């Protein structure tokens, strides 16, 4: 038999959601009628706006017509969608030629890893979306693996907590090849300011690091002073790749559509073009996003599509408000939720798995323990604002009761 990729055995990335599933099952075995409400999901729950569904349907029908049928498209995506994203999402400050359509931000985060040498080092926010570390490790960036701690010398954790406003202390950051930044952040809900991004871009220039900026939640930013893209900072095109997605913006988590910006100005340390390699990777590992999804994407960036998507995101932000009121009235502090669909609750010194269990058993609520997102996540609980309003209202009441008692 073929030998296993040894790095996958080291990975604990799936541990969090596997463990949550197991504990949920444990409760249901004891109490099969428990009316569980899930505040743990990072998945949309509201239907896709009608104007987008119409476009998806129209494209699907065309595929059934002998005169309108089309097969393979360009691996990098249809030009009209690239141009539309450049115009609507970046006000043409980014060229359509630097935008690459994908089947979502997560698959692109995986494919991006193929760009970088095995000995690349990286810095991640702690807590963070587990995919950054998992994709690095699976592709062999595993220098200095320590089997006791399960950590790697190649990976620098940047603690993000209330004391530093959830922004990494960049002055103290050791140099790494890659710096992963997610803003608005999953799981903390924090959004970095212009000033903070400016500093980040400055450090990347100084250290000759490449930033991977995850903007999957940009559509939730309501404060007009907050940046929605790393490219709002001058000089970012020389040091940053941005991944983004229609998933959370327009309810495309199942449809699958996203994009990455890989500017032509990016170069490896041997002077070669990052974009050229990216085009080669995309053409090899990927054969373009679905033509149906891309037709939906075009509708999503129409004026009406964007307006409807904004209403969709507002719905989740209203959910976040309802949950925040409940948490605060029980005497707890929480962060995020105003420009992101996550609330990050300070649980006053309790262990996050302990509170998880308490809420599961006493209130029949499924949440996400902060410790699952990295060591600095201990002492916090993530609540997702994705969900149906009646369930969120009920969950808020249960939260309030459980946390007050």
Ligand X SMILES: *Cc1c(COP(=O)(O)O)cnc(C)c1O
Residue among 258 and 387 whose Cβ is closer to ligand X: 258
CA-closest candidate to residue 362, choices 37, 133, 95: 37
Residue among 364 and 387 whose Cβ is closer to ligand X: 387
**Residues 62, 59: Cα–Cα separation, whole Å:** 5
* Touching ligand X, residues 69-98 (CB under 6 A): none
- Residue corresponding to tokens 């309501």: 222
- Give the single-character DSSP code of 17: H
Q: Is 189 in the site for ligand X (CB under 6 A)?
A: no
Which helix (H) or strand (E) segment holds residue 403: the answer is helix 389-404
Q: Is 135 in the site for ligand X (CB under 6 A)?
A: no
Cβ of 371: how many Cβ atoms within 10 Å? 19
Q: Is 216 in the site for ligand X (CB under 6 A)?
A: yes
CA-closest candidate to residue 199, choices 223, 222, 165, 224: 165
Residue among 215 and 233 whose Cβ is closer to ligand X: 215
Among 129, 220, 259, 335, binds ligand X (CB under 6 A): 129
Tokens of 86: 């450049």
Select the span of 17-25, 242-250, 294-302, 372-380 touching ligand X (CB under 6 A).
Answer: 242-250
Q: Is 167 in the site for ligand X (CB under 6 A)?
A: no
Q: Is 293 in the site for ligand X (CB under 6 A)?
A: no
- Give the single-character DSSP code of 45: -
Half-sphere exposure of 353 (CA within 13 A, CB side): 11
Quickly list DSSP for 223-245. -TTS-SSGGGSTTGGGTEEEEEE
Nearest residue by C-beta to ligand X?
104
Among 133, 160, 182, 212, binds ligand X (CB under 6 A): 182
Among 125, 135, 142, 247, binds ligand X (CB under 6 A): 247
Q: Is 245 in the site for ligand X (CB under 6 A)?
A: yes
What is residue 29's three-state secondary structure? helix
Q: Is 106 in the site for ligand X (CB under 6 A)?
A: yes
Among 177, 214, 237, 338, binds ligand X (CB under 6 A): 214
Cβ of 318: how many Cβ atoms within 10 Å? 12
For the chain, how many residues are written?
405
* Touching ligand X, residues 8-47 (CB under 6 A): 42
What is residue 342's three-state secondary structure? strand
* Residue 186 CB, nearest approach to ligand X (Å): 4
Residue among 59 and 248 whose Cβ is closer to ligand X: 248
**Residues 147, 143: Cα–Cα separation, whole Å:** 12
Quickly list DSSP for 55-71. HHHHHHHHHTSTTT---
CB proximity list for 280: less than 8 A, separation 6 or greater? none
* Contact yes or no for 297/257 (Cβ under 8 A): yes
Q: Is 186 in the site for ligand X (CB under 6 A)?
A: yes
* Residue 177 CB, nearest approach to ligand X (Å): 20
* Contact yes or no for 166/33 (Cβ under 8 A): no
Q: Is 190 in the site for ligand X (CB under 6 A)?
A: no
Q: Is 184 in the site for ligand X (CB under 6 A)?
A: no
Summarize the annotated binding site for substrate as residue ranges.
Answer: 15, 42, 106, 129, 186, 287, 382
Q: Is 339 in the site for ligand X (CB under 6 A)?
A: no
Q: Is 105 in the site for ligand X (CB under 6 A)?
A: yes
Residue among 49 and 341 whose Cβ is closer to ligand X: 341
* Residue 107 CB, nearest approach to ligand X (Å): 6
Residue among 220 and 332 whose Cβ is closer to ligand X: 220
Tokens of 249: 């913006």
Strands (E), 279-337: 333-336
Residue among 138 and 393 whose Cβ is closer to ligand X: 138
Question: Per-residue x/- mask for ligand X, residues 301 to 330, rule CB under 6 A?
Answer: ------------------------------
Among 253, 265, 273, 291, binds ligand X (CB under 6 A): 253
CB proximity list for 62: less than 8 A, separation 6 or greater? 68, 69, 70
Burial 27-44 (b: 16+ CB within 10 A, else e): beeeeeeeeebbbbebeb
Residue among 260 and 364 whose Cβ is closer to ligand X: 260
Please work out the total of residues on this chain that contact ligand X, with binding judged by CB under 6 A. 15
Q: Is 104 in the site for ligand X (CB under 6 A)?
A: yes
Q: Which residues bind ligand X (CB under 6 A)?
A: 42, 104-107, 129, 182, 186, 214, 216, 245, 247-248, 253, 258
């Amino acid at each position: 038999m073929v030998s296993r990729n040894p790095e996958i055995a080291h990975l604990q990335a799936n541990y969090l959601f596997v463990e949550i599933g197991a504990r949920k099952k444990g409760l249901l075995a004891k109490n099969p009628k428990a009316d569980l409400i899930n505040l743990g999901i990072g998945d949309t729950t509201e239907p896709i706006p009608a104007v987008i569904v119409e476009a998806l349907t129209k494209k699907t029908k065309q595929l059934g017509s002998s005169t309108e049928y089309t097969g393979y498209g360009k691996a990098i995506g249809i030009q009209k969608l690239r141009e539309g994203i450049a115009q609507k999402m970046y006000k043409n400050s980014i060229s359509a030629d630097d935008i690459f359509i994908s089947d979502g931000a997560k698959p692109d985060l995986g494919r991006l890893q193929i760009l970088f040498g095995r000995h690349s080092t990286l810095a991640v926010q702690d807590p963070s979306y587990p995919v950054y570390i998992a994709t690095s490790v699976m592709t062999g960036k595993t220098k200095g693996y320590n089997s006791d701690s399960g950590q790697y010398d190649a990976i620098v954790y940047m603690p993000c907590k209330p004391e530093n406003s959830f922004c990494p202390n960049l002055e103290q950051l050791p140099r790494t090849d890659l710096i992963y930044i997610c803003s608005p952040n999953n799981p903390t809900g924090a959004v970095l300011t212009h000033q903070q991004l400016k500093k980040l871009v400055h450090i990347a220039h100084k250290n000759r690091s490449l930033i991977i900026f995850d903007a999957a939640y940009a559509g939730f930013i309501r404060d007009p002073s907050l940046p929605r893209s790393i490219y709002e900072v001058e000089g970012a095109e020389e040091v940053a790749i941005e991944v983004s997605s229609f998933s959370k913006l327009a309810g495309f988590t199942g449809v699958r559509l996203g994009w990455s910006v890989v500017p032509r100005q990016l170069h490896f340390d041997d002077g070669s073009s990052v974009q050229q390699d990216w085009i080669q990777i995309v053409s090899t590992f990927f054969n373009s996003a679905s033509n149906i999804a891309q037709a939906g994407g075009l509708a999503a960036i129409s004026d009406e599509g964007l307006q409807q998507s904004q209403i969709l995101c507002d719905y989740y932000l209203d959910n976040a408000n309802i949950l925040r009121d409940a948490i605060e009235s029980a005497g707890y502090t929480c962060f995020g939720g105003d420009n992101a669909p996550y609330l990050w609750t300070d649980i006053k010194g309790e262990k996050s798995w302990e509170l998880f269990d308490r809420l599961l058993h006493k209130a029949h609520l499924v949440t996400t323990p902060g410790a699952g997102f990295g060591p600095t996540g201990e002492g916090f609980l993530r609540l997702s604002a994705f969900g149906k309003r009646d369930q969120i209202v009920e969950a808020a009441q249960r939260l309030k009761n459980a946390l007050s008692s």
